[in-house]
A and B are shown apart, each in its own frame.
Chain A
Amino acid sequence: MSNADDKELVARAVSHHDARAFGELVRRHQSQVRNFLRKMTRDFELADDLAQDAFLHAWDRLHTYAGSGTVIGWLLSVAYTTFLQSRRRSTRYQQILEQVGHDPDGEQVTEMCDEIGDLDKFLAVLTEEERAVMILSYACGLSHREIGAAANLPIGTVKSIIFRGKEKVRESFEIKDHQIG
């Protein structure tokens, strides 16, 4: 079972309703999916709950995986959809964002707590879409094409979001320099 590649495991899980084959897929990719959701939510408990929901959704929709992209790319797209759906339902996510000083419109919140790490400060200046794309690119290592498929965006938009994200980082660092200087 552990020697089989991801697509073989998907085929086995779909054709035989093999929960063990799917379990092997979960074991292989849980770290990346949970890391993605932890960075999106900035709340480990919430992220792990969402990851669990995402894998259960993935099990239900496994037959829709066309096999064209990587399995992890597809799993991350399911995780992103689960995240968006849960955020619409709950106010918990909004509370967490407020704690890390993020404005949903992407405007920088000037007063941040000292205990917030560099990554949180960086993520705080990005819009939700920019954050998802940057995380998928730099944390999960997906290609632009895979990010486009996961976030349901054209490749050109993905590239421009990454460009914009980097620009925001430069701007925020400049603000920091002025404050220090």
Chain B
Amino acid sequence: MKSKIIKLADRMKDKEDLGLEALFHSAAINDAGFSARIVRRIRWQIRVRRYSLPVAMLIGGLIAAKPAIDLLVVASSLITVIPEDLRTLPMQSLPQMSTLIAGAAIAGVAAMCVRLLEQ
């Protein structure tokens, strides 16, 4: 019985394929706002990605503003306790140009590294 069915099925392979296609066939699904929903979600995603970093920086800046101002006030008041001879330092004791350039280069490379890590 089984071999008969298999032989019959093999002989009528094309019909079997057609039968399977008919079995699997289903009507096209109406869009009914599906694609519009996807586009809305994508646009929202784009907006979130675009604005999340500036907004986070702004909020962080606002939160940090008061303590930073307080720190500046305290630091400026500390100037009065620095000894007089330290305030009138000779120019040689200030960082040299080569030191400044090396520092700037290190800062630049560090910024690039941070950007690469972010990406």
Contact = CB atoms under 8 A, between A and B. Distances in A.
Chains A and B form a bound pair: yes
Interface string A99-136: 00000000000000000001100100000000000110
Contacts of B42: 19, 22-23, 56, 59
B26 to A, nearest CB: 5
6 contacts: A20-B39, A24-B35, A55-B38, A134-B24, A138-B23, A171-B2
Nearest to B13: A166
Interface of B: 1-2, 5-6, 9, 16-17, 20-21, 23-26, 28-29, 31, 34-39, 41-43, 45-46
A2 B21 CA distance: 29
B31 A27 contact: yes
**Majority-rule SS of A interface residues:** helix
Interface residues of A, number: 36
A4 interface: no
B23 A26 contact: no
Contacts of B16: 166
Nearest first, the 3 A-B pairs at minimum CB distance are A23-B39, A139-B24, A26-B35
Interface of A: 17, 19-20, 22-24, 26-27, 30-31, 34-35, 38-39, 48, 51-52, 55-56, 59, 118-119, 122, 134-135, 138-139, 166-167, 169-171, 173-174, 177-178
Contact of A30 (B1, B35, B46): B35
**Majority-rule SS of B interface residues:** helix
A23 B1 contact: no
Nearest to A21: B39
A34 B24 contact: no
Contacts of B38: 22-23, 26, 52, 55-56, 59
Nearest to A166: B16
Contact of A118 (B1, B23, B36): B23
A34 B37 CA distance: 14
B20 A138 contact: yes
Contact of B39 (A26, A38, A39, A118): A26
Contacts of A30: 29, 31, 34-35
A170 B35 contact: no
